[in-house]
Amino acid sequence: MAFDHKIQIANINSMIGFQHTSAQQTDYEFNTTVTKTYLAKLTDHQKSLQKQNQGFMNLHSQHIDEIESLNGSILPSIDHICVLGIGGSMLGPKFIIDALQMKNSTKQFVFLDNIDPDEISKVSRELPLERTLFLVQSKSGTTPETIAQFSFFLNKCLNQGLEIHEHFIFVTDPDSGYLREFGNKRGITMFHIPKNVGGRFSVLTPVGLVSASLAGIDIRQLLLGSESIIDRQLMSHGDVSAYLYACQLHYYYTKQLPIHVIMPYSDRLKLFGDWATQLISESTGKNRTRDGEDIEFGITPLPARGATDQHSQLQLFVEGPKDKTVTIIRSNETANISIDPDDSLPDEFKFLSDHTFGELLNAELEGTRTSLIESNVPVSVISLNRINEYSIGQLIQFYQLAIGYLGEITSIDMFNQPGVERSKVLAKEMLSK
């Protein structure tokens, strides 16, 4: 018995649709479990999640006037934006810029998201410092990799005689940390990350909004899209698709399907998989519950890209170990570009006639979805009517809320990352000897 659940979130601007389909023999059990076990606890889980006061659920109320006015306050000669950061301070902004940067934007963006000396050397050679604004992002203001990047480019700018306050902006802790202290002394423009927002949940804080606004993206629409998810899924209880998505992840994990493939069928969404990978990995990978019970839990995200990875990873998904679920993300609005095949093509390609690249992509998507279902791989489809600020805000918040719900279902703290902190301590000890 196939389980086919469809829920849509809609308004006049855009829509996210969620659909889960599987041909597994356990579908009836899944349907029953959702109805009798998961949904029976929905209200309790909603209340518990709200009591945690996680800031990512309230970012639609933040004041953004100063962020929106940045383009008018930076030097007219600035045409390069170099973003310095790592992890949660970088993956979200990169995704938003890649998906939404306006074609008429005059600014070029460079995201330096690692400390690879070859890449730092390359960026240093190519950036015109006098025309570059450095956006330095660290929630704590003490991230060693980011401080190293900042110190390197700060010295470059000082050696060139540039006014530091004209070429640097900080996004960091509101009260403490090296960046906050330095910024106060040197008159640097600074924006703060709310203390109750974790790094991987911070994309809709100034972490993502500052660079987005500089790129000409409508950040108010991003926040309105995010707010619509919170309102419909958490406040008014009119839609439970984010909760069902969390239920699906948990249910199939208990059935020994710990790998979750995230497969957008749009190049504008390809970096979403990178952002979601950190969100899922750092949130779910834990060795104890909130009550201190020892466990080994973790959903392993696997980014893929349609239709490209039909020719690399799909063979593994279809005929390999049945340890995966798949989420396909699609856009219902694509550019109307005709294929216009040449008349000399052999008959086997005549089916391309009178079709667009969008129709071909959608056919590839449906072929992938059907082949996965036939191979007993559970598949979810998230649909965006169009890719714009509003729908991207919805998509981000949908995933964040689902992860929050997953924490309630599993009694696991989805908002800490002690394993990451330990590696930082060890690296510091090695370099300090």
Catalytic residues: 282, 311, 424
Alpha-carbon gap, residue 272 to 303, rounded angstroms: 9
Structure tokens at 134: 């450095």
SS3 409: helix
Q: Are strands 294-297 and 286-288 parallel, antiparallel or unpaired?
A: antiparallel
Beginning with the edge strand found earlier in the chain, give each strand of the sheet holding 259-264 in spatial order. Answer: 3-10, 15-22, 379-384, 324-331, 259-264, 300-303
Residue from 373, 203, 368, 213 nearest 272 by CA = 203
Alpha-carbon gap, residue 67 to 357, rounded angstroms: 38
DSSP H helices, 231-384, are 241-254, 272-284, 314-319, 357-374
Yes or no: say if 196 and 186 are a contact pair by the CB < 8 Å rule: no
Residues in contact with 428: Cβ distance below 8 Å, sequence separation at least 6, in sequence order: 144
Q: What are the phi and psi torsion angles at 89 (to 5°)? A: -85, 0
Hey, which residues does 226 pair with through a beta bridge? none
Q: Are strands 300-303 and 259-264 parallel, antiparallel or unpaired?
A: parallel
Tell me the CB-side half-sphere exposure of residue 335, using CA atoms within 13 A.
7
Q: What are the phi and psi torsion angles at 17 (to 5°)? A: -115, 145
Q: How far is CA 346 from the centre of its chain?
A: 43
DSSP H helices, 285-388, are 314-319, 357-374
Tell me the CB-side half-sphere exposure of residue 172, using CA atoms within 13 A.
28
